[in-house]
Amino acid sequence: MKDPIDIIAGLGVVPVIAIERASDAVPLADALLEGGLPVAEITFRTEAAADVLAAMRDARPELCIGAGTILDKANLARAVASGARFGLAPGYDPDIVDAAKAANLPFCPGIMTPSDLTLAAARGVRLAKFFPAGVAGGPKALSGISAPFAHLGIRFIPTGGVTEATIGDWLAIRQVVAVGGTWIAKTEDIRDGRFAEIAKNAKAAVKVAQEALEKRQ
């Protein structure tokens, strides 16, 4: 099975999704696949998250599923049990980093400052979520924050405030693996069954991301 981080890096964009009903899991998976985006970060912001992951795992194994907003070890365990192939968090918690490593789950903790990154790097983190990316200063801020750590080979997934229009700016930074996109599959669009719109958003995001990745080769 292909490494999930390699899949994400090849796509350049990850849809960040808060979904309220497990019954919407398969239609959502189908919309993402139709849009050429075979990856999903299901955030543990709703009670349905674990059930959504399990439903996607069972019905659409070709979709690379991961868990977001992992704030405690209990949800980390639930995510792994439900089929998550990668995990992310908005902040850095060494206990969760250690637990993810023990579970053999590729994990991306959140950082926003050089101090955050110093602590994460000392724990062996080499893939970090830059969050909230827009509020924290955008691509220019990440370039400045990451510069002193470049020799360590740390890579990033900026999330929070990223838009389709700014994908190219983020992916111009070689240390950026992919961006996290909340606009691709919004909670209200899933709730209202607008899966055609989600497929359209996914297709557009992939197109822009692929163009940006080609430019930096």
**What interhelical angle do 25-34 and 195-215 show, nearest 10?**
40
Do the beta carbons of residue 164 and residue 205 sit within 8 Å? yes
Give Dmax over CA atoms of the chain in angstroms: 47
Q: Which of 129, 188, 200, 214 is catalytic?
A: 129
Is 34 known to be catalytic? no
* Catalytic one of 2, 20, 34, 41: 41
In the 3-class helix/strand/coil scheme, how is 27-42 assigned residue by residue? HHHHHHHHCCCCEEEE
- Would you call 207 a catalytic residue per the annotation? no
The label of the residue with tokens 């389709």 reads 164
Phi/psi at 212 (5° precision):
-70, -40
Distance of CA 165 to the CA centre of its chain: 18
Catalytic residues: 41, 129
